DNA sequence: CGCTGGCTTCAGAAATTTGTGAAGTTAAGG
DNA sequence: CCTTAACTTCACAAATTTCTGAAGCCAGCG
């Protein structure tokens, strides 16, 4: 997918149609997995952008949504650590950025959710009695989550190594 | 939390109030993580039940919801492999059951979602060009998912071992 | 072979969520 | 300071989702 330039060089093409296709398709997958629509679209657009960072106006234009919608989507994404915001020095413009290793961040963040599940389960074991069938079931569930939490930490460490090796 | 029986033995108490507290609290955590309300409540109720299996009527009564709501919730949960249905022989009654290792199942199931994400990303790399900045970002994201997929398989195997050891 | 218990499906009311236009806020630029 | 660019917040209209009561369907039982 390249575009002849006449001067012998070629630059990678960025057909808006192609970009949009990817954005909408990938966003749809994210939506199916539970992400709200606008945050999903904004995130996909950032992923597919050249610099990995876009302004509110650019997102608004590219996705054909109101500035308000961009604002809401970005607030959501920032809250779950899927984008970071950076202010452009000497301008009131803000850029929203994805890091290539954002998923690492986002996954790490899920830890908080797990913790709350674990707390609820511990309360349940205490309330129902560790010696009851239900209590034992809850305890086993709790053990699984604790196991996963521990394993994920190791997994992320291994990814950091592999990432460094493959992508610098 | 035990209840004196007068004959010297004691049985674990199942105060409906206590059970309900756990069910609603744990369900709330699941809802916050994206599960629809009724499926979350039904799942929590099953987890907290003595046998790990309840009938539609029992769920309906305990959660104060219509049989229709139970039906919908169970269909949802079965689809994502979080409960299994079993017919009671010689009766038209059905029981819905959680296995203690249901989470293992559910997580394994997420693989399908990951696969679709990966497909969308591969298309994106192809469309945008592997030699473009955006293409490289998508490729790295793809690599991360492939890595996770591989790691999770190993993790689940380790859990099976640990589970066997600790819970038989 | 018809009745009945038990789940499922359906249509619709109610609640929730989403996205927008418009007004509000803040800070750079003149 | 006053203007204006660039978000953000707000109130509301629209779309969606969620639950319910009622009707439907089917397997056992008599």
For A6-42, b/e burial (b = at least 16 CB within 10 A) is eeeeeebebeeebbbebbebbbbbbbeeebeebbbbb
Same domain, B117 and B161: yes
Average pLDDT taken over every residue of chain B: 88
- Residue A2 pLDDT more than 70? no
Tokens 């190993």 correspond to what residue?
Answer: B154
Q: How many CB pairs lie under 8 A apart between chains A and B?
A: 165
Same domain? For A159 and A123 the reply is yes
- Give pLDDT, residue A87: 86
Considering the domain architecture, whether residues A78 and A129 belong to the same structural domain is answered as no
d(CA B60, CA B71): 10
Ramachandran assignment for A66, one of left (phi > 0), alpha (psi -120 to 50 degrees), beta (any other): beta
Question: CATH number, domain at B36?
Answer: 1.10.10.10
Report chain B residues whose CB lies below 8 A from the CB of A132: 12, 14, 50
pLDDT exceeds 50 at position A8: no
Which DSSP symbol is given to A81?
A: T
Q: Where do we find the tokens 């970002």?
A: B137
> CB burial class (10 A; 0-12, 13-18, 19+) of residue A137?
buried
And the tokens for A158? Answer: 């291994």
A52 near B138, Cβ under 8 Å? no
Structural domain of residue A56, as residue ranges? 2-98
Q: Do B129 and A48 touch (CB under 8 A)?
A: no
Backbone angles phi, psi at B55, to 5 degrees: -90, 165
User: What is the band of B1 on the pLDDT scale with cuts at 50, 70, 90?
Assistant: very low
Q: pTM for this one? A: 0.86
Spatial distance from the CA of A141 to the C1' of C20 (Å): 44
Q: Which of A98, A125, A147 is the last residue of a domain?
A: A98
Q: For chain C, which bases have at least one atom within 7 A of a protein Cβ?
A: 5-11, 17-22, 26-29
Shared-domain flag, residues A110 and A87: no
Q: Give the residue from A38, A63, A98 where a domain finishes.
A: A98
Least confident among B2-6, B29-33, B34-38: B2-6
Question: Please, are residues A127 and B24 in contact by the beta-carbon 8 Å criterion?
Answer: no
A62, A81, A98 - which closes a domain: A98
Q: Chain A: nearest CA to B22, how far in angstroms?
A: 6
Which bases of strand D sit closer than 7 A to a protein CB? 5-11, 17-22, 26-29
Residues B71 and B128 in one domain: no
If asked whether residues B149 and B84 sit together in one domain, one would say no
* Interface touch B52/A135, C-beta < 8 Å: no
Touching A: B residues 1-60, CB under 8 Å: 1-2, 12-14, 18-19, 21-22, 25-26, 29-30, 32-34, 47-52
Is residue A100 within 8 A of residue A167, CB to CB? The reply is: yes
How many alpha carbons lie under 13 Å from residue A9 in its C-beta half-sphere?
2
Clarify whether residues B17 and B34 are in a common domain: yes
The separation between CA A34 and the C-alpha centre of its own chain, rounded to angstroms, equals 12
Say if residue A129 is in the same domain as residue A145: yes
| Pair B21, A116: CB distance under 8 Å | no
Predicted pLDDT of residue A33: 84
pLDDT of residue B10: 54
In whole angstroms, D26 C1' to B90 CA is 14
The answer to whether B53 touches A151, Cβ cutoff 8 Å, is no
For residues A113 and B32, the answer to whether their CB atoms sit within 8 Å is yes
DSSP A116-139: HHHHHHHHHHHHH-TTSHHHHHHH
B22 contact residues in A (CB cutoff 8 A): 120, 123-124, 127-128
Q: Are residues B94 and B111 in the same domain?
A: no
Instruction: Tell me what the mean pLDDT of segment B42-58 comes to.
Output: 94
Residues B79 and B148 placed together within one structural domain of the fold: no
> How far B45 CA sits from the closest chain A CA (Å)?
10
Question: What total number of domains does chain B contain?
Answer: 2
B85 φ, ψ (degrees, to nearest 5): -105, 140
Do both A88 and A31 map to the same domain? yes
CA gap A36, B116 in Å, rounded: 18
If asked whether residues A120 and A64 sit together in one domain, one would say no
């Amino acid at each position: 997918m390249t575009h002849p330039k006449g001067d012998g060089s070629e630059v990678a093409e960025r057909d808006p149609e192609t970009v949009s296709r990817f954005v909408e398709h990938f966003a749809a997958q994210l939506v199916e997995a539970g992400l709200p629509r606008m945050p999903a679209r904004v995130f996909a657009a950032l992923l597919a952008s050249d610099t990995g960072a876009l302004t509110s106006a650019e997102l608004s234009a590219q996705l054909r949504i109101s500035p308000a919608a961009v604002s809401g989507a970005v607030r959501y994404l920032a809250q779950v650590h899927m984008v970071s915001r950076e202010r452009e020095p000497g301008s009131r413009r803000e850029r929203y950025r994805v890091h290539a290793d954002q998923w690492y961040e986002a996954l790490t963040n899920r830890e908080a959710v797990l913790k709350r599940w674990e707390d609820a389960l511990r309360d349940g074991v205490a309330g129902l009695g560790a010696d009851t069938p239900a209590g034992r079931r809850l305890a086993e569930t709790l053990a699984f989550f604790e196991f996963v939490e521990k394993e994920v930490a190791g997994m992320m460490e291994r990814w950091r190594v592999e990432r460094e090796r493959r992508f610098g």
